[in-house]
Structure 1
């Protein structure tokens, strides 16, 4: 859609639709291909895509693709491009695996970092000290006692997101999970349900939650403390939007002291400590 007025011919290639229809468009000739890694590989193996004249390769949302397990496919695609080209890699975060990929595929790269985020002033912050094995019990009690609209809960791993959502459902909450390895149909169902209110609680990993645009999120809960202050800002930025206020609750274990200190430096004040009575 962005290239609609440029006069360039483009095509979107992704799974779940007919390869034959995509092939017919490719045969006509295109200058831009926007593709999901798996389906692009299908076309490369079939011979319906030729990258021998590729001039610019763009790898977008690299951290999210890694989280969704696409890194092997990306490496396979790169093995099909043997000639010199310009490569651009975009990523909201640069974890170790993405940094290693950069070192592998980019030659003397220039790094461009846009902006430095600060927490929204419309969000209040509080921490809840808790032992790791008691987090889910605390979460259920906190949700029961707190007046909320929609709640977004962040976990560190995909398996934990699914497990926490299942435990909330069994406790009677209208909850769903969102992880990188979900089929697209289930992912869309979880997002649509969260947007329309069928699900009041969404449990997600950082990467899977990328792009969630729901204005009515009243609370963000860090079930697992984020690994950086930037990630904290990304998480809590989902609440307190469009003139509304929001709350960010962070569960803190004994191993999280250093990160709590970093958050307090970011906020320029101590992180309020709360406990639930009873």
Structure 2
């Protein structure tokens, strides 16, 4: 075990490893919560490998459940590294592949392994087909449990638990601890120990800043930031796969960039991720599918092209950089509609994020009113339009047309024109409108343009 740790460059345990490993070695059930990038995988794999190596058993010992195929593959790779000198084997089981992958997974199970790392959906399919014998299982580990709950896997996990021996150790790791996780844990854990490490906090090595921008300024701002130095590893997060495709199209002529989204075939996603880890691709654009469980050391910069809707998603995105005590930078673009979201992020992480001035040559962006949101005062007219009603009069809004477009103006009973909500929101110069990504490129699937 020590030889494997030395070969992988491990010297000192992280806080979650230091607290979790002794509990797991004592065979107690555990609920552990720590922010992303703190070494949770090693915290549960190392003590399990230690116990397997001492037992000498070659039967299936441990089942690790993960929410995504990318995380399952990553955990399996880490197990291979830790167990290189132990002779302990693991098998990744996940969906998304073709019939050949399915047959390979079934044959691997028949050959046997001490550890299986699986996504819930594919594992249920194998269990239903009678392809797995779980009678010797001693450990059930749920990694990124909060993510599995968000993806609707709670019923699948309970079905899987029904196949497992009741006399086992159950370990649940999560980056957040909402009430639904605690309620769920009561169904599958027995008197668990609890460990929590710095919930809702970003890593100390991350330099965080933001730009207050209109949507149509974002692409040029990304190009400006990326052109400032020769970055070796950058992740850009967008809110939808359509935006990922559009941004890829805008950047590919100028930078070494790839797009990572759910429309890609599994084999293409694996190739792209491998190229990014090996620094063959410098810039990766994706949705929150890559905000969790993708362990790439040395990411210098994270750009939130869109402000994440959930403050905790911000912590996961930012956690892609400054891993393993490294330093990194995170930049977030905030448009007027997302100012309230960004204020909630600042409240969660307990700090005000530095606002950068737009570079020379850019038109002035919107004013950021985050303080008003954080103090729970009413929104001003630049952030949310309000309508005042004269006494004795009822304000009538313009009827909605079949074209699904509203009239820009409406006349009051006195004949005066009243500004529409969109006009009132941006008094003076009208900001540029966000471009939509339609047409041939937006409709293509399973393709990355050459």
Shift of 1:122: 3.5
Residue 22 of structure 1 is aligned with which of 108, 112, 129? 108
Bigger CA drift: 235-244 or 247-256?
235-244
Q: How far 1:202 moved relative to its partner? A: 0.9
For residues 164 and 279 of structure 2, what CA distance do their matches in structure 1 show? Answer: 50
Secondary structure, counterpart of 2:127 in structure 1: helix
Distance 2:157 2:194 in 1: 26
User: 1:183 Cα deviation (Å)?
Assistant: 4.0
Cα distance between partner residues in 2 of 1:153 and 1:249: 10
For 1:82 and 1:238, the matched residues in 2 are separated by 35
Match of 1:75 in 2: 156
TM norm structure 1: 0.72
Paired position in structure 2 for 1:91: 174
Q: Where does structure 1 lack aligned partners over 5 or more consecutive residues? A: none
1:125 aligns with: 208
Q: Distance in 1 between matches of 2:325 and 2:177?
A: 31
Native 8 Å contact 1:119 1:267 kept in 2: no
1:255 corresponds to 2:304: no
Q: In the alignment, is the contact (CA less than 8 A) between 1:220 and 1:236 conserved in 2?
A: yes
Greater mean alpha carbon deviation, residues 31-40 or residues 202-211:
31-40
- 1:246–1:255: structure 2 CA closer, same or farther, 3 Å change rule? same
CA contact (8 A) 1:13 1:22 kept: no
Contact 2:210 2:353 in 1 (8 A): no
Say which SS state the counterpart of residue 288 (structure 2) adopts. Answer: coil
Larger radius of gyration: 2
Rounded to whole Å, the distance in 2 between the matches of 1:274 and 1:241 is 28
Match of 1:42 in 2: 125
The answer as to whether partners of 1:131 and 1:253 remain within 8 angstroms in 2 is yes
Matched, 1:107 2:156: no
Which residue of 220, 223, 226 maps to 2:302? 220
Cα gap change, 1:151 to 1:41, in 2 (>3 Å): same
- Structure 2 unaligned residues grouped into runs of 5+: 1-44, 61-89, 95-100, 362-450
Q: Report if aligned partners of 2:145, 2:174 keep a CA contact under 8 Å in 1.
A: yes
Match of 2:235 among 138, 141, 152: 152
Question: Taking CA–CA contacts closer than 8 Å with sequence separation of 6 or more, which of the two structures ends up with the larger relative contact order?
Answer: 1
The count of aligned residue pairs is 269
The residue aligned with 1:172 is: 254
1:247 Cα deviation from its structure 2 partner: 2.3
Distance 1:166 1:54, change over 3 A: same
What do you get for the CA RMSD once the two structures are aligned? Answer: 4.1
TM-score w.r.t. the length of structure 2 is: 0.48
User: Counterpart in 2 of 1:7?
Assistant: 56
Which residue of 2 is the match for residue 138 of structure 1?
221
Q: Helix, strand or coil: the match of 2:55? A: coil
Is the contact between residue 41 and residue 77 of structure 1 (CA under 8 Å) also seen in structure 2? no
Q: Distance in 1 between matches of 2:175 and 2:290?
A: 12
Q: Structure 1 residues 185 and 122 mapped into 2: Cα distance closer, same or farther (>3 Å)?
A: same
Q: Deviations over 1:27-85 (max 9, x none)?
A: xxx88654333442332232223568978754333455578x7839x628717938994
Offset of residue 150 of structure 1: 1.9
* Equivalent pair of 1:62/1:91 in contact (CA under 8 Å): yes
Q: Distance in 1 between matches of 2:202 and 2:161?
A: 43
